[in-house]
Amino acid sequence: MVASGSVRRASAARKAVIVLPLLAALLSGCGTATKNDTFDLSAINKAEGPSAHGKQILIPQPTALGALDREQIVVRVTSSQIQYLAKAQWSDRLTRMVQAKFVTAFENSHEVGGVGVPGQGLAIDYQVVTDIRSFEIDVARHVAVVEISAKILNDRNGTVVAQNVFRKTSPLGGNGNEDYIHALDRTFAAVTGDLVAWTLHAI
């Protein structure tokens, strides 16, 4: 089972849900004119999978479209329109947060010989290359959605060992900013647990 820690709040502000249109004029000043609540993602405590103690893996920074790869939190209004959650932001760009939580999840599994990020000088056996496709609140369906594609590359010869797409949804517990973030946090934890277990089986 996947255990998700509680979401941390970095500051206090109103809980009302307000969204900002995806317009360049608004985006340029978003997050600077007012004080936002700052949220982090939880790192899962344990993911189940077979031992890979003799293997070392590299976690590159995920790729993502520019609308996702920022500190703002995406709210999907329709299939073709997204907005950003007002009075709230991530503690870092989304791709850097996800990369850090993936590293921690593999470390917490205690099943790999080593895990790290580019530049740390590890003798790598495999890379886990990911792309964030969705990381959003879908207000029409009243759910949080996280979808991440993953490839495991043999670092010795560059071949793809396995590839998969991990998608989870979680119902929103309410209509406040914290409700939205908690739902995203639970959903991401479920995706992370599945990805770690899948990787351990594949390598």
> Residues 45-84: pLDDT tens digits?
877 788 888 999 999 999 999 999 999 999 999 999 999 9
Domain assignment present for residue 83? The answer is yes
Is this prediction's pTM over 0.75? Answer: yes
CATH number, position 102: 3.40.50.10610
Residue 139, CB half-sphere, CA atoms under 13 Å: how many?
Answer: 18
Domain assignment present for residue 41? The answer is no
Residue 147's φ and ψ, nearest 5 degrees, are -135, 125
Q: In the prediction, which pLDDT does 50 show?
A: 85
Domain assignment present for residue 42? The answer is no
Domain assignment present for residue 36? The answer is no
* Tally of domains in the chain: 1
Average per-residue pLDDT for the chain: 86
Domain assignment present for residue 6? The answer is no
Domain assignment present for residue 76? The answer is yes
C-beta atoms surrounding 51 within 10 Å: 12
Q: In the prediction, which pLDDT does 29 show?
A: 41
The model's confidence at residue 30, banded by pLDDT at 50, 70 and 90, is very low
Domain assignment present for residue 172? The answer is yes
Question: Would you say residue 178 has pLDDT above 80?
Answer: yes
Mean pLDDT of 110-133: 94
- Higher pLDDT residue, 43 or 144? 144
Q: In the prediction, which pLDDT does 44 show?
A: 87
- Higher pLDDT residue, 197 or 11? 197
What residue numbers bound the domain in which 97 lies? 19-27+52-202
Domain assignment present for residue 7? The answer is no
